[in-house]
Amino acid sequence: EAAREILERVEERGDNRLGVEAMGLLDAYGIPMPDGEIVDAPEDARAVAEGIDGDVVMKIVSPDILHKSDIGGVEVGVADDEVEDAYETLITRARNYQPDANLLGVQVQEMADLDAGTETIVGMNRDPQFGPLMMFGLGGIFVEVLEDTTFRVAPVSETEAREMTEEIKTAPLLRGARGRDAADIDGIVETIQRLSQLVADFPAIMEFDINPLVATPDGVAAVDIRLTVD
Ligand code: ADP
Ligand code: MG
């Protein structure tokens, strides 16, 4: 129900592309994510940051800016007393990039533990021939340089989801290479299945990318999302 409302709101907005304002969709499907909120005033950003332990990440929220770091739209490791300045900086950068961009606000988000975690990507594309194709791979440089990704037609069973985590070339990194602890592979498998269910429930979702889904030994967290609806 919550998911349906979110998608209806987008339709009313007359926009078919969503960024982190779609996090609620993931929440509705029980996918873990860092604490966070979208605000539209610097004071509110500060208040949210003060309610979150440690530094925060701040991101511009706009359907016109879906590759946020490309325009300096992501500030990582922001302390509480820097939040209001960072808010203004993000808005200024967005305005400079595209003066008429539809700015929905700024997301203030808890930091994910990237040191203990591995950045993975889970995505979906509707293929005209095969239908919805779920994608899994490692994030960051791995996806760009190695194109180390794997695909299954949705709905994806638990066995298939597990195969996806095992068959990428960089799978040993998830299992714990070089003295690192293994990532929560069960959490990844569960997330792939839940997203596959989301895709089955909402044929209007044409494609999405969760990049990164951070996988630590303790669990997974969806840190960023973009999606396109029909
Ligand atoms: P975009 O992909 O639109 O540039 P992201 O939200 O993915 O924006 O942020 C860019 C990068 O910043 C991520 O790939 C990740 O490395 C880092 N990052 C973003 N959010 C967090 C977070 N909550 N905790 C830790 N690192 C983050
Ligand atoms: Mg991203």
CATH of the domain at 182: 3.30.470.20
Lookup: tokens for 141: 């440089």
Q: Does the Cβ of 75 fall within 6 Å of ligand 1?
A: no
Could you tell me if 86 and 127 lie in one domain?
no
Lookup: tokens for 7: 């998608």
Q: Does the Cβ of 152 fall within 6 Å of ligand 1?
A: no
Of the listed ligands, the closest to the CA of 70 is 1
Among 72, 87, 110, which residue terminates a domain? 110
CB atoms within 10 A of CB 29: 17
- 8 A C-beta contact, residue 123 and residue 208: yes
ipTM of the complex: 0.99
Among 75, 110, 145, which residue terminates a domain? 110
Could you tell me if 22 and 89 lie in one domain?
yes
Could you tell me if 125 and 187 lie in one domain?
yes
Could you tell me if 63 and 133 lie in one domain?
no
Q: Identify which of 57, 210, 216, 225 to mutate to test ligand 1's pocket (most ligand atoms within 8 A of the CB).
A: 57
Among 62, 93, 110, which residue terminates a domain? 110
d(CA 161, CA 185) in angstroms, rounded, equals 10
Could you tell me if 144 and 82 lie in one domain?
no
Q: Identify which of 37, 142, 224 to mutate to test ligand 1's pocket (most ligand atoms within 8 A of the CB).
A: 224
pLDDT in tens, 79-130: 999 999 999 999 999 999 999 999 999 999 999 999 899 999 999 999 989 8
pLDDT of residue 146 exceeding 80: no
121: nearest Cα among 132, 134, 136 = 136
Name the phi and psi angles at 229, rounded to 5.
-115, 155
Could you tell me if 188 and 135 lie in one domain?
yes
Q: Does the Cβ of 113 fall within 6 Å of ligand 1?
A: no
Could you tell me if 81 and 133 lie in one domain?
no
Ligand 1: residue whose CA is nearest its atom 2: 67
Ligand 1: residue whose CA is nearest its atom 17: 76
Could you tell me if 95 and 125 lie in one domain?
no
Q: Residues within 5 Å of ion ligand 2 by Cβ?
A: 211, 224
Could you tell me if 137 and 216 lie in one domain?
yes
Could you tell me if 222 and 198 lie in one domain?
yes
Q: Which residues pair with 210 in a beta bridge?
A: 122, 225
Give me the number of domains the chain comprises. 2
pLDDT of residue 135 exceeding 90: yes
**What mean pLDDT comes out for the span 55-72?**
96
Could you tell me if 100 and 24 lie in one domain?
yes
pLDDT of residue 1 exceeding 80: no
Could you tell me if 6 and 75 lie in one domain?
yes
Question: What is residue 124's predicted lDDT score, i.e. its pLDDT?
Answer: 97
183: nearest Cα among 118, 137, 138, 135 = 118
pLDDT in tens, 25-39: 999 999 999 999 999
DSSP state of 195: H
Helices within 34-130 (DSSP H only): 42-50, 83-97
**What mean pLDDT comes out for the span 156-180?**
92
Q: Does the Cβ of 74 fall within 6 Å of ligand 1?
A: yes
- 8 A C-beta contact, residue 188 and residue 138: no
- Give the domain CATH number at 93: 3.30.1490.20
Q: Which domain holds residue 141?
A: 118-229
